[in-house]
Amino acid sequence: MPLNDLLIRKAQPASKPVRLFDGGGLYLEIAPSGGKLWRWKYRFAGKEKRLALGTYPEISLAEARKRHAESRQVLKSGIDPGEQRKVQKLTRLDRGDSSFGAIALELLTMRAKKNAKSTVVRNTRIVEKDLNPYIGERPITEISAPELLAVLRKMEKRGAVETAHRARGIASMVFRYSIATGRAKHNPAQDLIGALEPTQTEHFASLTEPAQVAPLLRAIWGYDGSTIVRAALKLAPLLFARPGELRTAKWADIDLDAREWRYTATKTETAHIVPLSKQAIEILEELKPLTKRFEYVFPSLQGKGRPMSENTLNSAMRRMGFVKEEIGKDGKVRTSSTMTAHGFRAMARTVLDEVLGFRPDYIEHQLAHAVRDPNGRAYNRTAHLVERRKMMQAWADYIDKLRAERNVVSIAGSSHEPFAGN
């Protein structure tokens, strides 16, 4: 039965969302908090989708039906109404939508789907607290490098040097996004590289001496916790991807037949390929029956369609004794890390170079760092792929050998021969 205003006004919220259908896929969703939102359920290209049409009572029943009819006409023309709205949102050039604050919010909202929650919260806080009060209402095209630098200097003056660097990076993302969507032509934040006070770099704890690494590897392969966590622990040294990239790996990005894991590197936002060694393939094939029904290779143990939590691997390292907590004389708990999940990257870089003798550019490519050719152009994702396949297999074989050995020589006294052809 079609809705009417009386029925809508009398509708009460419940412990779960309530849906009142009007017909043709149009319905009013009442949230447990009492908020009412018009939605339209439709199908495009065989997939079910939903489009928000506004909140009630701001959008009346009559207006909701009008918007519903207009959206249906768009659908009949062969266009996805949801995608059309995204395009329209990106191409609006009025002053309100071209301010720094509005574009920053748009970008943060879009990136919230793929970024870690902690990253979203941190970046949003920096935009709202440190950037928007000074340049939030300024048109994006009118902000100059000196103006942005003056804002960043305020953070430096209060001692928040690292925050100033993060704020410059976030501002740079906003300007790049503005350029990509036709709302700006220049990125003043890019001009400020090197203009801020340097930060004190915190190095992730790592083990690089083979004699130190061997006990860690044996502990990982003997880990008696969750099968999913054990698989992630094993793949961490084998693949040496960034921890966030490993824990959010998706089955859709892994091709066991091609022996490749393809995804977008978080730091460089570029396509990246990880050749999979036979050891990595074995681990993934063993894990797949357990988690293939999930989107993520390493789903959260709590369920709810999320990936493994950020600290799961480090918690496992703590259980194995490679991350220790000590209580100081002041009563505060301090963490002493001999190795973190991020430290596998430092370990791989050192051993691949100094023990196995691989070329540094092969290693940098595999670490998903920005590597450029002699002309300054960024290499594409397939650069040196054949050599990198050999390197990843040699690395996996080396890890196997290291695990099995009890008497391991140091890097300085290593007798390993460099890989032929490097």
Which residues are the active-site residues? 242, 267, 342, 345, 369, 379
* Residue 76 burial (CB count, 10 A): 8
Alpha-carbon span 295 to 228, nearest angstrom: 14
What stretches of 282-332 adopt beta strand conformation (E)?
323-327
β partners of residue 36: 30, 56
Token code pair at residue 68: 């519903």
CA atoms lying within 13 Å on the CB side of residue 422: 21
Alpha-carbon span 197 to 220, nearest angstrom: 40
Environment class of residue 186 by beta-carbon count within 10 Å: exposed (0-12), middle (13-18) or buried (19+)? Answer: middle
Closest Cα to residue 154, out of 167, 142, 141, 145?
167
* Residue 15 Cα distances to 31, 57, 247, 383, angstroms: 8, 21, 33, 54
Residues 342 and 204: beta-carbon distance below 8 Å: yes
Closest Cα to residue 41, out of 13, 16, 20, 60?
20
| Amino acid making up residue 354 | E
For Cα atoms 166, 168, 172, give the angle at the middle one, nearest 5 degrees: 115
Alpha-carbon span 186 to 29, nearest angstrom: 42
* Residue 382 Cα distances to 89, 270, 386, 390, angstroms: 34, 12, 9, 14
Q: What is the dihedral of CA 60, 66, 70, 76, to 10 degrees?
A: 110
Q: What is the dihedral of CA 25, 28, 29, 32, to 10 degrees?
A: -160
Closest Cα to residue 68, out of 42, 29, 92?
42
- Ramachandran angles phi, psi of 320, nearest 5°: -85, -5
Place of tokens 């907590």: 325
Closest Cα to residue 151, out of 136, 116, 140, 141?
136
